[in-house]
Amino acid sequence: MVEIRFHGRGGQGTVIASKILADAVSKEDKYVQAFPQFGVERRGAPVFAFIRIDDKPIYIRSKIIAPDHIIVVDPSLIDAIDVTEGLKKGAFILINTGHQPKEFQHLGKDFRVFTIDANEIAIKYKLGSKAAPIVNTAILGAVPRIFDFVRLESIIQAVRDGVPVNPDANAAAAKEAYDSVQGV
Amino acid sequence: MKKVMMGNHAISHGATLARVQVIAAYPITPQTQVVELLSEIVADGKLKAEFIKVESEHSAMAACIGASSAGARAFTATSAQGLALMHELLHWAAGARLPIVMADINRAMAPPWTIWTDQNDSLSQRDTGWMQIYCQSNQEVLDSVIMAYKVAEKVLMPIMIVLDAFSLSHTYEIVDLPDQALVDKYLPPFDYKYKLDVKNPHTYGGLTTPDWYMEFRVKMHEAMDQALVEIKKEAGEFEKIFGRRYDTVDPYLVEDAETVLVTSGTAASTARFTVDQLRAQGKKVGNLRMRVLRPFPFADVREQLKNAKKVIVIDRNISYGYHGIWAQEVKSALYGHSKVPVFNFIAGLGGRDIFPETIADIVALVDKKKKPDQELYWVEVKR
């Protein structure tokens, strides 16, 4: 079983990202469970989402406190909270940022950092606005590049099915993100 | 068709596939998305149903009672204070023998205000005459809504489908959405023999003297006995068509278990996961998931617990000044049939998480005791 925690801010669509990833994983003949932090979400406040992926039915239903990996949708959270809390040794950390992975060495030697500039890709494909780009699909495009539980085709299909508008631009953003991950 | 969906939407899809004809509901967290999606489905013309917006849960149930009396398949959903506000009409729906189906998303009762899960809302409606079915997955939620109408309309008693707030209601997982044609084959249209008809006027529920009131109650109790037969029959009928089986109880590795956990809801799902971990350490532990609270499956509980040396009931609820409510039920079923000691643990109230470690710690504590030295044990409580 793989357990991943998403870090974002309320209003960024972090929970939706975890849901679309679950959609993509469901196309892989695997079992999946995705859930938000149970509670009241405020715009701009740190939020979490969680996903479990396994080859067999998933019975555990408690919160994930020691994730295998994390995905940081909003890099400003790295200075605000301890995103690596409970994170297992050998974890991958995927960060939405224009910076290089080596600039995040302070997160610890036990982890491997990958970066993707999802904001830039989202702005290029006119997803959301320049001030508030919708970065979900670009983040998700980076996922199959570093993890082996889901293929890019499944991500693109899930993105096409899951976005309310501009399926082509969203799919292209996911593909471009796949090709631009730093640290691989 | 396989689809990733949250538990709340599994309810909406179940109701849609059951071709409900009247939906009356009032929004309350964490139930809101159930009726949001249903209102969209009705507005889009994908379900031919009346969607009645009401000003309270009391009115929602009143509208369902009216609709069901007129022969319509009626549906609603609620949580916590909303369910409590319906209380008077829950008795009315059952006493009037109306096969209404309602989803209750278990949310702890206030005060203090809370939106998170525990079972005190539904369990405090135990004696209203509603059947109660507790689910552990979104698939089971969807399937149970469909099966509920089959059973309810057979015995003319209402059913509550119960699921945990957030741990199911807001959790996405893969659900196999059955074909409408198969559901239609399984669940024929509701043909209510006693429906209100202006061409053949009747009145129901009028003043009844001591000469006859008790006979109505006997009929309700007998309908519940029959419901137990129907639930067990439908476990097979549903499985034949859809390949998934839901019985009154859901045993996991109990045959050779020395210690059997008795659990319900999503805590039961995590308990099953924990049983695998404990078995890997050589501990002979099993899990009996309670699915049906009313009608209570006495025989199945006695049968499944007959080999146990110790029984641990984990209750996500409390009857203040007594035990957890499932523990009362299980002890009562075993009394005179078994001398197995029953340990009662209260855990996870108000949405506090029940982790595999929580359950493993409970088992470890019971390992050290021959029999209970307290009426109940509080789990992970700050003092």
Per-residue pLDDT, B57: 98
Per-residue pLDDT, B282: 98
Residue A89, exposed/middle/buried by CB under 10 A (0-12, 13-18, 19+)?
exposed
The residue among A61, A65, A155 with the most chain B CBs within 10 A of its CB, best to mutate, is A61
The shortest CB-CB distance from B167 to any of A22, A23, A61 is to A61
The residue among B2, B3, B4, B354 with the most chain A CBs within 10 A of its CB, best to mutate, is B4
Q: Where are the domains of chain A?
A: 2-179
Instruction: Determine the distance in angstroms separating the CA of A75 from the nearest CA of chain B, rounded to an integer.
Output: 26
Distance between CA atoms of residues B247 and B156, nearest Å? 20
Which residue does chain B place closest to A50, by CA atoms? Answer: B171
Per-residue pLDDT, B72: 98
**Cβ within 8 Å, pair A38-B170:** yes
The residue among B173, B287, B352 with the most chain A CBs within 10 A of its CB, best to mutate, is B173
The shortest CB-CB distance from A34 to any of B166, B172, B355 is to B172
Strand-by-strand arrangement of the A92-96 sheet: A112-116, A92-96, A69-72, A2-9, A46-54, A31-36, B172-176, B2-6
Distance between CA atoms of residues A128 and B340, nearest Å? 63
The dotted CATH code for A2-179 is 3.40.920.10
Distance between CA atoms of residues A134 and A170, nearest Å? 10
* Partners of residue A19 in chain B, C-beta under 8 Å: 4, 172
Distance between CA atoms of residues A105 and B267, nearest Å? 39
Q: Are B343 and B369 in contact (CB under 8 A)?
A: yes
DSSP label of B301? H
* Partners of residue B356 in chain A, C-beta under 8 Å: 60, 62
* Partners of residue A38 in chain B, C-beta under 8 Å: 116, 165-167, 170, 351
The Cβ of residue B206 has, within 10 Å, a number of other Cβ atoms equal to 5
Mean of pLDDT over chain A: 95
Give the confidence band of A39 by pLDDT, cuts at 50, 70, 90.
Answer: confident
pLDDT in tens, B342-353: 999 999 999 999
Distance between CA atoms of residues B141 and B137, nearest Å? 6
Distance between CA atoms of residues A72 and A74, nearest Å? 6
**Cβ within 8 Å, pair A22-B173:** yes
**Cβ within 8 Å, pair A60-B116:** no
| DSSP-assigned states of every residue in A6-23 | EEEEBTS-HHHHHHHHHH
Q: Are B176 and B2 in contact (CB under 8 A)?
A: yes
pLDDT in tens, B115-126: 999 999 999 999
Q: Residue A29: what are its φ and ψ, rounded to 5°?
A: 60, 40
**Cβ within 8 Å, pair B356-A62:** yes
Element (H, E) at A158: helix A152-162
**Cβ within 8 Å, pair B167-A58:** no
Q: Is the pLDDT of residue B373 over 80?
A: yes
**Cβ within 8 Å, pair A35-B116:** no
CA atoms within 13 A on the CB side of B167: 33
**Cβ within 8 Å, pair A61-B266:** yes
Q: What is the mean pLDDT of residues B264-276?
A: 98
| DSSP-assigned states of every residue in A57-124 | -----SPPSS-SEEEES-TTHHHHS-TTTTPPTT-EEEEESSS-GGGGGGG-TTSEEEEE-HHHHHHH
Closest C-alpha among A68, A110, A65, A114 to residue A93: A114
Q: Domains, chain B, ranges and CATH?
A: 2-242 (3.40.50.970), 250-378 (3.40.50.920)
**Cβ within 8 Å, pair A63-B170:** no
Instruction: Determine the distance in angstroms separating the CA of B6 from the nearest CA of chain A, rounded to an integer.
Output: 9
pLDDT in tens, B41-58: 999 999 999 999 999 999
Q: Is the pLDDT of residue B98 over 80?
A: yes
**Cβ within 8 Å, pair A22-B172:** yes
ipTM of the complex: 0.95
Q: Is the pLDDT of residue B313 over 80?
A: yes
Residue B131: beta bridge partners?
B159
Distance between CA atoms of residues B224 and B239, nearest Å? 22
Show which residues on chain B lie within 8 Å of chain A, measured between beta carbons: 2-4, 115-116, 165-168, 170-174, 266-267, 269-270, 272-273, 276, 351, 353-356, 358
Q: Are B310 and B149 in contact (CB under 8 A)?
A: no
* Partners of residue A18 in chain B, C-beta under 8 Å: 172
* Partners of residue B115 in chain A, C-beta under 8 Å: 39-40
Cα distances (Å, whole numbers) of residue B193 to A127, B11, B97, B147, B197: 57, 27, 12, 20, 10
Q: Are A120 and A157 in contact (CB under 8 A)?
A: no
Q: Is the pLDDT of residue A67 over 80?
A: yes
Closest C-alpha among B151, B141, B134 to residue B176: B141
Per-residue pLDDT, B260: 98
Per-residue pLDDT, B81: 98
**Cβ within 8 Å, pair A38-B167:** yes
Q: Token pair 């203090």 is at which residue?
A: B112
Cβ neighbors of A97 (< 8 A, separation 6 or more) are A75, A115, A116, A117
**Cβ within 8 Å, pair B170-A22:** no
pLDDT in tens, A124-145: 999 999 988 999 999 999 999 9
CA angle A120, A124, A126 (to 5 degrees): 115
* Partners of residue A34 in chain B, C-beta under 8 Å: 4, 171-173
* Partners of residue B276 in chain A, C-beta under 8 Å: 59
Q: What is the mean pLDDT of residues B1-26?
A: 97
Locate the DSSP E strands across B99-234. Answer: 101-106, 131-134, 159-164, 172-176
Closest C-alpha among B142, B170, B14, B106 to residue A22: B170
pLDDT in tens, A86-103: 999 999 999 999 999 999
Q: Are A69 and A18 in contact (CB under 8 A)?
A: no
Which residue does chain B place closest to A60, by CA atoms? Answer: B270
**Cβ within 8 Å, pair A62-B353:** yes
**Cβ within 8 Å, pair B174-A34:** no
In percent, the amount of chain B with pLDDT more than 70 equals 100
Distance between CA atoms of residues B108 and A32, nearest Å? 27
Distance of alpha carbon B92 from the chain centroid: 19
Dihedral sign computed on CA atoms, order B210, B213, B215, B217: negative
**Cβ within 8 Å, pair B171-A23:** no
